[in-house]
Amino acid sequence: MHRKEALDKDALAYHAEGRAGKLEVVPTKPLLTQRDLSLAYTPGVAEPCRRIAKNPDLAFEYTAKGNLVAVVTNGTAVLGLGNIGALAGKPVMEGKANLFKKFADIDVFDIELDAPTADEVIAAVKAMAPTFGGINLEDIAAPDCFVIERKLREMLDIPVFHDDQHGTAIIACAALLNACEVTGRNMADIRMVFSGAGAAAIASANLCLELGVKRENVWMLDSKGLVWKGRVEEMFPEKEAFAQDTSLRTLNQVIDGADVFVGLSVGGILSPDMVRRMADKPIIFAMANPDPEITYEAAKGARPDAIVATGRSDYPNQVNNVLGFPFVFRGALDCRARAITEEMKVAAVQALAQLAREDVPDQVLTAYGLDRLSFGPEYLIPKPFDPRVLLWVAPAVAKAAEASGVARLPIADHDAYRQRLERMVERSKEVVRPLMNRARMNKRRIVFPDGTHPKVLRAAQILVDEGICEPVLIGEEWKVLKRAEEHNVNLRGIQVVEIHDDEQFNRYADDLWKRRQRRGMTLTSVRSWLRNPTVYASMMVSLGDAHGMCGGLATPYADTLRPALQIIGPASKKEVVSGVYVMLFKERRLFFGDCTVNTHPDADTLARIAFNTAQVCRAFGDEPRVAMLSYSDFGEHREDPHVIRIHDAVKRVREWWPDLVVDGEMQADTAVNVELAHGDFPFSAIQGDANVLIFPDLASGNIAYKLLRELGGATAVGPIVVGMDRPVNVLALGSTVPDIVNMAAITANQVLDLAGPAGATAAPPSPGA
């Protein structure tokens, strides 16, 4: 089977398997009881209707309007398939809806109109506009697309955006700004040749003018040749605006000396000979899909100094509209913009261009299977799966909307707005940010035994830049320096400790031998063991040369925790060391213990695990409500020793920490399902509102958190190790740079809690005293 045939087969299966298509409607409010029904529909629904009738702006408060976009087509120019009709274009519109939701959490209704004329489309969209916060026009042929967008913008007080025009223009112009930066050009001086004079090409040319390109330097060609003054064949006003007063007529004639070629036409139209006749360091954007105007290989073969972008994902510098429309609409919707202005488009261009010049985060490299990526000829625009695009483009668009006077509800606090966007991108940011802020006020030294790992290096730079802690990296200095240079990491503010040259080595060795000499270790074996970075980092923490440790990025969990337990140990003889995961769901967060340390805990150990996990819950600002889990509900299987163990653990918790809300044994659904708990167990202290879940053994806890992470859409923060004399945390294998930053912030807070500064949570007295 040929590659295209296989892809076609896979695409059909993708769309047909399971529930047909790519969309479903999901309710955002509960509908479980008669009361819920009376609120969602009659009679309760009448009150928001009355309020909106008096004040239409309240539709943004009481309905989904403010986060709802219509993706509208009449099917007259679907992809490269042409006029295939509205219904045949529906898979594309559903796909667009998926992209809106995935990248910017915007809800979409796809609207396929049997409306072949511009007037029919305008009438239909105007009639349905009250439903939506914005209109995204899609796959509508030129010149009707220009007329439709212009008239709807005049008629409606919500954003109207033809993505085929402006989405392409925004991404291409961001790439052009950076290509000019890389090649040392000024936008006002460049000479541009456009192959294609449709919606995308004309919009791109117009946006180039906004960015400083001179109209007389734009040469536009279509299937009939150059757009020249006096030409009448296939002309319309938007195209006429770029007509040149010249006797030249063909691409072959106008390409000589051009700085920039922008292709939005057909494959193979630009020859290697034409490329050789362009200016030095030519900028070539060959964006026809699936076959570009010239292939990447042919362009680079003709001119190795060329800067090349395409519309394809298998070459550098993909010009992909998904970098634009979700984030432009996110910013526009969040300030309730009445329109999308030229200023908002320019702001999006500049935000994308600037972001490409920033350090590329680890999760982007991982997503694309890359070791490194940095601004330059082969990286002019961010990658589509870069989560930072939302954080850069949406705020820039919202600010520009306010500046251009179209924002109904200007963003009052842009820092808070950015934080809200961060929660959409990375749930862990929401819960860890308060800990980061606290750590900034009391900076502590956190040591990383994996000091030469590129992820640790990148995390260390972030920790210094954001003032979260003072990172100490263990590793050979030459290797740290080399890898920092390879990954563009600034080592300012980062201490590097090389074990064999460290002046503290002998002191550590002598101290460690005193601890281990009656446990079968000689001084020689101690000195050899001490060369293990995890052992050395543990000694630094134990002797106060570092406040806490984060390790284990490239080693098994036990190999990192075991030396820390041997050297640092628990906080007291009665203390239990356990692991906690913070599980983040869209509307809820739970704390799981113990998922990583204690294999088969007895009743006393389970009680202490419950206390440890509750401490973590409090550290994150929540009041713990503890459910001790089992397969049994409140004595249902009271003869089983495993159930008796849970029952006894509940008694210990109540005896040792009487202020802690705890109940059990109970099943997991009883712990988290309000309706079930209310109906069957009204006597329980936990009424389906548990936020701390204590598992009966390590196997069940570990399985539960991994299943919820992989299948339930939860984000897991951790494991957080609790109960050590000094803070030690073990990074999960495969941790990303943000994961490492988060765990360093958590470790720094554990230091502060042990030190007992103002605001720290005081621990209850040790049980059993």
Q: Tell me which residues are annotated as active site.
A: 96
Beta bridge partners, 590, equal 583
Residue written as tokens 């270790």?
521
Question: Looking at the chain, how many residues does it have?
Answer: 769
Beta bridge partners, 220, equal 194
| Cα(766)–Cα(22) distance, integer angstroms | 55
Beta bridge partners, 162, equal 137
Residue written as tokens 């010049």?
357
| Cα(591)–Cα(605) distance, integer angstroms | 17
Q: How many helices (H) and strands (E) does the chain have?
A: 31, 21
Torsion angles phi and psi, residue 544, rounded to 5:
85, 10
Interacting residues of 534 by C-beta distance below 8 A, sequence separation 6+: 449, 551, 552, 555, 559, 560, 563, 564
What's at 276, amino acid-wise? R
Torsion angles phi and psi, residue 714, rounded to 5:
-85, 150
The sign of the dihedral angle between the CA atoms of 52, 56, 59, 61 is negative
* Contacts of range 668-674, beta carbons closer than 8 Å, 24 or more positions apart: 668/629, 668/693, 668/704, 670/627, 670/633, 671/627, 671/629, 672/590, 672/627
- Closest to 140 measured CA to CA, from 128, 124, 158: 124
Give the three-state DSSP class for 715. strand
End-to-end Cα distance, the chain: 74
- Are 156 and 89 spatial neighbours (Cβ–Cβ below 8 Å)? no
| Cα(507)–Cα(517) distance, integer angstroms | 15
| Cα(41)–Cα(432) distance, integer angstroms | 39
| Cα(260)–Cα(248) distance, integer angstroms | 18
446: phi > 0 → left, psi -120 to 50 → alpha, else beta; which?
Answer: beta
Interacting residues of 47 by C-beta distance below 8 A, sequence separation 6+: none
Q: Can you give 559-609 as a three-state secondary structure string? A: HHHHHHHHHCCECCCCCCCEEEEEEECCCCEEEEECCCCCCCCCHHHHHHH
The sign of the dihedral angle between the CA atoms of 602, 655, 761, 616 is positive
Angle at 316 between CA 314 and CA 320, to 5 degrees: 75
- Are 694 and 627 spatial neighbours (Cβ–Cβ below 8 Å)? yes
The two structure tokens encoding residue 317:
């510098």
Any idea what DSSP says for residue 624?
-
